[in-house]
């Protein structure tokens, strides 16, 4: 902060003899990033939900710093992950984690509670039904996928040879 003093005051009052001080500069400490506030200040999500966090940076004088770049992280990535650039948090399993915003070695964090899910194992489980289970070749069979935990792909093995 820089302040300019435009007049002179003494015990007799304002100086009326034409003398004034116009170049007294008071220089305060350099402003540095001291506090990061993350919003929302807490979050409760269900498995599969997401939310975007934001952060604000402040100096030791409580002045807002603009153009601050934050890096985001989650303290427990089995509960939820966060995009390190955008602050988009995705809830993966039941539990709690801390979401952290960091800039210039200063961090702010919030607690995130995730409900639902088994709290851990999300291994896909294959489960199919067939409309026809026997017949003469060539046989057309329609399968219905009832798999759980979102498999990414399927491999068929009709000969049962692995």
Q: Please write the tens of the pLDDT for every residue from 12-24.
A: 555 444 444 555 5
Sign of CA dihedral 126, 129, 134, 140: negative
Confidence of residue 120 (pLDDT cuts 50, 70, 90): low
What's the mean pLDDT in 125-145? 84
- pLDDT above 50 (res 32): yes
**Closest listed residue to residue 53, CA positions, set 66, 65, 37, 64:** 37
Please write the tens of the pLDDT for every residue from 57-93.
999 888 999 999 999 999 999 999 999 999 999 999 9
- pLDDT above 60 (res 6): no
Confidence of residue 1 (pLDDT cuts 50, 70, 90): very low
Q: What is the pLDDT of residue 19?
A: 47
Least confident of 42-46, 47-51, 102-106, 132-136: 132-136
- pLDDT above 70 (res 11): no
- pLDDT above 70 (res 124): yes
pTM given for the model: 0.56
CA angle 66, 102, 112 (to 5 degrees): 110
Q: Which domains does the chain have, with CATH numbers?
A: 33-115 (2.60.40.1080)
């Amino acid at each position: 902060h820089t302040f300019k003093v435009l007049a002179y005051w003494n015990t007799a009052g304002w100086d009326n003899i034409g003398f004034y001080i116009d170049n007294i500069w008071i220089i305060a400490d350099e402003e540095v990033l001291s506090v990061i506030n993350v919003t929302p200040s807490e979050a409760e999500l269900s498995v599969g939900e997401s939310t975007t966090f934001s952060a604000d940076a402040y100096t030791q004088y409580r002045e807002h710093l603009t153009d601050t770049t934050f890096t985001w992280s989650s303290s427990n990535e089995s509960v939820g992950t966060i995009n390190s650039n955008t602050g988009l948090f995705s809830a993966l399993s039941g539990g709690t984690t801390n979401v952290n915003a960091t800039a210039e070695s200063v961090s702010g964090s919030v607690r995130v509670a995730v409900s639902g899910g088994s709290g851990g194992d999300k291994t896909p489980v294959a489960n199919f039904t067939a409309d026809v289970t026997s017949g003469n070749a060539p046989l057309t069979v329609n399968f219905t996928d009832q798999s759980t935990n979102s498999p990414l792909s399927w491999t068929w093995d009709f000969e049962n040879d692995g």
